[in-house]
Structure 1
Amino acid sequence: MTTKTSELLADVAPRAVAVVRAISDDQFDLPTPCADYSVRELLNHLFHVVVNFQTMAARQPVDLTDEADLLTDGWRERFAAEAEQLVQAWADPAALEGVSPGMRLPQETVGDMAVTDVAVHAWDLARATGQPYDAPPAVIAALDAYMDRMGEAGQQMGAFAAPVEAPPDATGLDRAVARMGRDPNWSPS
């Protein structure tokens, strides 16, 4: 069985896995479009996102303060496995029912947050490490719809910066990340 959330994650998770697998250890100290994170720190954050949103799909409590280093032996393969489990966790229609006990948001919104986090942090990591990355139109539409609903609240909570103007030739994904306060022209240099 699938849900809209799991279908979106099935589109974006393998793309994120490809970016993550292509990151070499010597790129860990590079800056990212997330000013507070190096590549290594953002990889760890994304890994935690993938694991935590599985737990949130089951409406179980999550310790969002846990920042343990997950980049230990075999981390690329473990990340790929966890990303696949994330897709499966949100494939259960029950994952989208009710309200998240920890976040007190509709579970559908929490699922949208998962899609957003995976897509945008994969974009961040791709930019930081010089990799190509794009998202399919359905994911871009979901990011835009999420920002329509949650963008202002996300800015107030510090999850997003003020929107940045995207250049006229920006891709749909670049326009979406610009709404979240990321510079579509960002580069590590």
Structure 2
Amino acid sequence: MTNQIAEQHSALAGKLGAIAANVTDWDGPTPVAEWRARDVLIHLMTWLPGLLNKVGVELTTVEVEGDDVLAAWWKHTDNVQRLVEDDDQLARTVDVGQGDQTLAQVLEQLYLSDLFMHRWDLAKASGQDPEWEPEVVAGMVEGMTPIAHVLGESGEFGNPVVLDESHPAEDRLVALIGRDPEWAPVVA
């Protein structure tokens, strides 16, 4: 039996890692005003272990040593991959504030989607193409548009903006997560 969560994680983390491997300025600005490029990965490396450890699922928080954000990212990715390859762990029931769910459901809904969305942040911060899969973008736009007000109230996103269908799906998703689709780093 194929473990889809493990496959999805490997693919998403790998795509984000490929973008991270081409970042030349870890202190460069990002579409999230208070973040630098390094903060995109640090966010992903800290919130998931924090959340899971609170519900009894052990996942080590990887610290960045010196300026080697990329090495820390790969350690974190390896830790998460080991977790998602454990079918018994994925079947565990946890409550992260949304009622009882399997760990697989929590990871798919929260973490895998975060890996996907933050690929745009890091790519834009470093002058790269996020190479978002159009079908995933379309599905996220469809699922998130009706709950835009909830996204805004959650505090987990910027101020969501619902763009109409005359805009490309990628721009619509970016606006839904509170980003400016036209954002680009200021060139000095």
**Residue 178 (structure 1) aligns with:** 175
2:124 is the alignment partner of 1:130:
no
How far off its partner does 1:132 sit? 1.5
Please list, as runs of the form range in 1=range in 2, the aligned pairs for 1:151-162 lying within 5 A after superposition: 151-160=148-157, 161-162=159-160
Higher-RCO chain (CA-CA 8 Å, sequence separation at least 6): 1
Q: Confirm or deny: 8 A CA contact 2:151 2:160 kept in the other structure.
A: no
Distance in structure 2 (CA, Å) of the matches to 1:88 and 1:166: 41
Distance in structure 2 (CA, Å) of the matches to 1:77 and 1:102: 29
Gaps of 5+ in 1: none
Q: Confirm or deny: 8 A CA contact 1:54 1:85 kept in the other structure.
A: no
Pair 1:143–1:96, CA change in 2 (3 A): farther
**Residue 121 (structure 1) aligns with:** 118
Counterpart secondary structure, 1:100: strand
Q: TM-score under structure 1 normalisation?
A: 0.72
Gaps of 5+ in 2: none
Q: Which structure is larger by alpha-carbon Rg, 1 or 2?
A: 2
How far off its partner does 1:101 sit? 4.0
Distance in structure 1 (CA, Å) of the matches to 2:92 and 2:138: 23
Name the Cα RMSD after superposition: 3.5
Distance in structure 2 (CA, Å) of the matches to 1:12 and 1:154: 22
Aligned residue type for 1:11: A
Distance in structure 2 (CA, Å) of the matches to 1:99 and 1:81: 26
2:11 is the alignment partner of 1:41:
no
**Residue 7 (structure 1) aligns with:** 7
Pair 1:21–1:188, CA change in 2 (3 A): same
Q: TM-score under structure 2 normalisation?
A: 0.73
Q: Confirm or deny: 8 A CA contact 2:164 2:172 kept in the other structure.
A: yes
Comparing 73-82 with 30-39, which one deviates more in the overlay? 73-82
Pair 1:98–1:146, CA change in 2 (3 A): farther
Aligned length: 181
Pair 1:168–1:138, CA change in 2 (3 A): closer
- Give identity over the alignment, percent: 24
